[in-house]
Every structure is written in structure tokens, then in C-alpha cells.
Structure 1
Amino acid sequence: MGPLVSGELLSLPVRSHGIELGRPVELVLDLRARRVLGFEVRCRDGIHRFLPLAATRIRGDEITIESALTMLDELAFYRARGRTLGSLRGAAVANAGGALGTFRDVVFEPGGAIHELVVATPGGERRVAPSGDVRIAARRASAA
């Protein structure tokens, strides 16, 4: 299997042995390590749990796991140590040469390594390798 686009995965059900357990609602990233940690899954019981990427297999129309026990109740722990895809969307992306655009999505390898950042520019979307000088700024909270 080739690189995965996170936006496509967030529409897939999480299943174990054909039984739907929930739906991913968020992706948790470790930007320093340039890795996807896993998914925040809204389970059928209404509780949000963390599903480590390493415990999954991505198939054409589903995210499969061997056991529901691989979904962890420690979601807050993983969210505190990573950044969610949703919290990064719209953030400024720049490198040593200047502004590249705004963050939109990530493309990653099945093992979790981030392969590219999808960045929106005035001319359309472009993909940027997450090299050492590429930075994603923290988004500012909107004044409500």
C-alpha cells in the first residue's frame, strides 16, 4: 500500500472482524517526529477513544483492528502530546525561504511517517516535503 491521505481515512469505519466499532473523527500527529500517532475514534457507545495507527490495517473501505481492546481510553494523554489535524488546518506553513501557504492535510506512509504536507496556496494545493526547515505556526484562537 502506498502513501495515505488523512482526509480520505477519516471517512472510513473502524471495524473488527466485520463489526463496526466506530468512526475516526480526528488524526493525532507528532510534528517533531514527523509521524502520525493514531486516530481519535467516536465509538458506538458515544465515547471518544484513541486508536494507535500501529494497531490498524487500512483496507480499501475500512480501518481494521484485531480487537476492540486496542482502542484506548487515554485519549487526553495522546492529544496532549500531539497535535490534531483539525487544530492545524488553516495554520501558516513556512520554510527558510518564506511563506508556503496554509496547512490543509497530511500524506503519510502506512507505518506513520509523514510523507508530505498538503498546503493551500493562491494558485491551488501543493504538496511539501516535511523537511527540517518547514514550520507550521500555531493557529490563533478566534475572538468570540
Structure 2
Amino acid sequence: MKRIALTFILILTNKCQIANKKVFNLNEKITTKDSLLVEEELKQYKNCLFSSLYNLGLQKTYKRLGINNNEISSVKDLTYFYYSGEFNPQFMIDDSNRERMFNRWINDTKYEPIPEIVDGSLDIVRALDFYNSQDLKIFLDSLRQVEYKRIINNKEKGKP
């Protein structure tokens, strides 16, 4: 009986090691250089997302306070231009997940003005909380997976 149990355990252990090797081989298709490039792209895109949410918050505040956009400085935010070409342009396409995430954060009542200071705003606080949020980590991780798949597909097709 001990031999049967030992044999069974050895077979299971061997099968698990084979399965793990298959996953490991898939990961070998992403080099350290590829991984570092993706992480740099995501960091720069994260900065752009912070800027976008901050500016959406400002627009909401201006509307709440009845400030016409023509009355405020027309200095444009150049975050996307600053990082242009530094990350995969596919990140910039319309993304319903990104829009839903922005809407959740923009409409979060936690960032409504403080009753004692109704002419103020918590727009930068909202943007900072967003920048460090689990929501953003999950969103960026999904982009990371898509980017890894894109790299692997390009390698399999012989593209750089």
C-alpha cells in the first residue's frame, strides 16, 4: 500500500513539474529588456492617466462653481505630448474600461467639497488617490498582459 501511495505521489509531482516548465517556457519569450520596456511604458501612461483624471476633476469643479472655461487660463495640459512616442500608441485608443474607471473616480462623493470651504476642491487629492489606487493597478496590469501578448505575437511572426 505504501508503494502505491508513493508511486502516486511521484507521478503527481512529476506532472506538476512538467506543467510548471510549460508556464516557465512561455515566460522565457519575454526578455528582461521587453519587461523593462513594458514597465517604462506603463509608468509613463500612468502619469498620463493621473493628468487626465486631474483635469476631469478640474472641469467638474469649474462647472460646480459656475466658472466658464473662457474665464480661466487657457493653458493646455501637455502631458500626453511630453510622453508621446514613449509608450504603445494602442494605450491611447478609446477604452471603455478606462472611461468607466474615470467615471467612478470623478463621481465619487468622497471628493465633494468640504462644507466649510465650498469654493475649494479636492481635485488633486482625488488624482493622487487614483494614482495610488488598486483600480489603477488592476487596469495597468491588464494592459501589461495585453502588451506581453503583443510582444510574443510579434516575435512569433518575426517582427521586432
* TM-score of the pair, normalised by structure 2: 0.26
* TM-score of the pair, normalised by structure 1: 0.28
Structure of higher CA gyration radius: 2
Give the number of the structure whose residues are more often strand, by fraction. 1
